[in-house]
Amino acid sequence: QVTLKESGPVLVKPTETLTLTCTVSGFSLSNARMGVSWIRQPPGKALEWLAHIFSNDEKSYSTSLKSRLTISKDTSKSQVVLTMTNMDPVDTATYYCARIRRELWFDHFDYWGQGTLVTVSS
């Protein structure tokens, strides 16, 4: 049974750094053509892809947020960590981690965590 669970602070102050952890079970972060993505959704708004990391340590970041994001994984702990620097109230959102499967001509997110709401406020 594949599960993903996000953890991290519910409240951060402007300019602080957000650190979120995704703990996975039911699959290994070393499985080929699999990885973990972070996706966020501001209240009442659309989904936004942020970053992903694959088993071969290939990483990719949203172009608009690249300078603020870092993604890493600890395969032995089955965890993927996302850090986002210089948080702003506009970054208030539910943050999801999801398993990404990569095929030649498509990706898909087949399992999602429940999401964690992060509020940015002083």
Partner 1 sequence: SSELTQDPAVSVALGQTVRITCQGDSLRSYYASWYQQKPGQAPVLVIYGKNNRPSGIPDRFSGSSSGNTASLTITGAQAEDEADYYCNSRDSSGNHNVFGGGTKLTVL
Subset of residues 68 to 97 that bind partner 1, contact rule: CB under 8 A: 96
115: left (phi over 0), alpha (psi -120 to 50) or beta: left
**Which residue's entry shows tokens 């594949």?**
2
- How many residues make contact with partner 1 (CB under 8 A)? 25
19-58 mask for partner 1 (x: CB under 8 A)?
------------------x-x------xxxx--x------
Centre a 10 Å sphere on the Cβ of residue 73 and count the other Cβ atoms it contains.
21
Smallest distance, partner 1 to C-beta of residue 16, A: 26
Can you say how many angstroms the Cα of residue 97 is from the centroid of all Cα atoms in its chain?
4
Give the span between the Cα atoms of 92 and 56, in whole angstroms.
31
For partner 1, the binding residue among 19, 27, 115, 119 (CB under 8 A) is: 115
Can you name the residues that pair with 93 across neighbouring β-strands?
Answer: 118
> Which one among 55, 62, 70, 83 touches partner 1, defined by CB under 8 A?
62
- The residue (of 60 and 92) whose beta carbon lies closer to partner 1 is 60
Beta bridge partners of 79: 23, 74
Q: Which is nearer to partner 1, 27 or 49 (CB)?
A: 49
Strand 116-120 and strand 11-12: the pairing is parallel
Residues that bind partner 1 (CB under 8 A): 37, 39, 46-49, 52, 60-63, 96, 98, 100, 103, 105-110, 112-115
